[in-house]
Amino acid sequence: MRRYTALTVMLFLAACGDHPATPAASPSAPLNAEKVRVETGANARPVDGIVEAVDEALLSAQTNGRVIAIVHDVGSAVPAGAVLLRITGTEQQAGLRAAQSGVTGAQSAAAEAAAQYERVRALYDEHIASKAQYEAALAARDRSAAAAAAAESALSTARESVAYTEVRAPFAGIVGRRLVDVGEAVTPGRPLVSLVSPKKLRVSFNIPASVVDAVRAADHATVQSLRGAIPVSPITIYPEAGGDTGTFRARADLPASVDLAPGTPVRVDVPTHDATHLYVPDSAIVHRSEITEVYVVDAHGMATLRYVRVGRSDGQRTEILSGLAADESIALDTAAAARQIEGQRP
């Protein structure tokens, strides 16, 4: 009996060695797969940018005095022409009154000199007054007229000096910074307050010299912010490179619909050179902790899980930086691909 059993086992093993193993059953239904999408376009290089207000002003004192009132403080939205702060105007008011008196006196003198000239001219025409008298009256009239004009100019200056005691907004905007306090003495040129307009914004950034020609040729870039990707065009590039950094300063206007505060840091993706980009649908990507994978489907419809390195996503598709080839296909239904692989396991 023992010899019979051993013989039976040997015959069974021999039979197994004569025939190859049966392949695993193919999936009951083919996987929904598509080829990796290939596009040719410009590569992008990220650079740091900053959001700026197109209309921005640092208002300075234009007269002497002390700050007596802060009418609108930091963060206040003001219309054009609104008074932001006031400066004492005692000296300016006194100067205005003196200038007004000067104008009154100069105008009276000019009127009297003009009347005297007309009388002398009439006598001169009748050969009663001498030519010297006529010329003296003419010169007196002209001097008086010039004095009256000078007095009016002084009055205009005095009025401006009084107006400078009220610092007004040159355009509608938001008070950004206040650089003085109530009671501080100020002189002409002293910075007082800044004003920015959030209605017109732009982004400012520096372009490396190695890619400035590509950016100039493409004339567009993409701003990456908390509000998402914002395409901008055209790009204004300054003609001179920075001495220390060797970069070119550039700027681009932001769309009016963008709601970003001036001073917000952003990333700007500038184009560099044409390259091949691979894209897959976001639904085909599997995220496992810090690992990103896709199911690659071969010519027989069999799926294999593969690690990939991804780039940017627009919410519908993601760029694949490495791990896939242009002629490969990926499974769109990741759950079905996972079931297929699970079904092939012994």
At 1, is the pLDDT very low, low, confident or very high (cuts 50, 70, 90)? very low
Q: Say yes or no: 284 and 339 in one domain.
A: yes
Residues contacting 228, CB < 8 A, separation 6+: none
Q: Looking at residue 88, what is its pLDDT? A: 92
* pLDDT of amino acid 118: 93
Domain boundary residue, one of 151, 182, 199: 199
Residue range 80-95: mean pLDDT, rounded? 91
Q: Is 318 helix (H, G, I), strand (E, B) or coil?
A: strand
The alpha-carbon radius of gyration of the chain (Å, integer) is 42
The per-residue pLDDT for 3 is 43
Confidence class for position 28, pLDDT limits 50, 70, 90: low
Judge if 105 and 159 occupy the same domain: yes
Residues facing 42 on adjacent strands: 274
111-153 pLDDT, tens digit per residue, is 999 999 999 999 999 888 899 999 999 999 999 999 999 999 9
Q: Is the per-residue pLDDT at 60 higher than 80?
A: yes
Q: Is residue 169 helix, strand or coil?
A: coil
Beta carbons within 10 angstroms of residue 284's beta carbon: 21
Q: Report the chain's mean pLDDT, rounded to a whole number.
A: 86
Residue 22, pLDDT > 60, answer: no
Instruction: Look up the CATH number of the domain holding residue 329.
Output: 2.40.420.20
Label residue 107 by pLDDT band (50, 70, 90). Answer: very high
Residues 207, 267: one domain?
yes
Question: 185 and 302 share a domain?
Answer: no
pLDDT tens digits, 236-261: 999 888 766 678 999 999 998 888 88
- 9 within a domain of the structure (yes/no): no
Number of domains in the chain: 4
Which one has a higher pLDDT value, 12 or 170? 170
Q: Is residue 159 part of a domain?
A: yes
* Portion of the chain with pLDDT greater than 90, in percent: 55
Q: Which of 42-46, 66-70, 185-189 has the least mean pLDDT?
A: 42-46
Q: What is the pLDDT of residues 299-336, one digit of tens each?
A: 888 999 999 999 888 888 898 989 999 889 999 999 99
The answer to whether residues 297 and 335 belong to one domain is: yes
Given 257, 272, 287, the domain boundary residue is 272
The pLDDT of residue 14 is above 60: no
Question: What pLDDT does residue 17 have?
Answer: 42
Same domain, residue pair 194 and 215 = no
> Which amino acid, 318?
T
Q: Does residue 206 share a domain with residue 195? A: no
pLDDT at 12 over 70: no
pLDDT at 23 over 80: no
Confidence check: pLDDT of 276 > 60: yes
pLDDT at 10 over 60: no
DSSP 96-149: HHHHHHHHHHHHHHHHHHHHHHHHHHHHHHTT-S-HHHHHHHHHHHHHHHHHHH
Residue 27 confidence (pLDDT): 47
Q: Domain span at residue 243?
A: 46-54+200-272
Q: Is residue 18 part of a domain?
A: no
Distance CA 266, CA 231 (A): 13
Q: Once rounded to an integer, what is the mean pLDDT over residues 1-24?
A: 40
Residue 265: cis peptide before it, omega within 30 degrees of 0: no
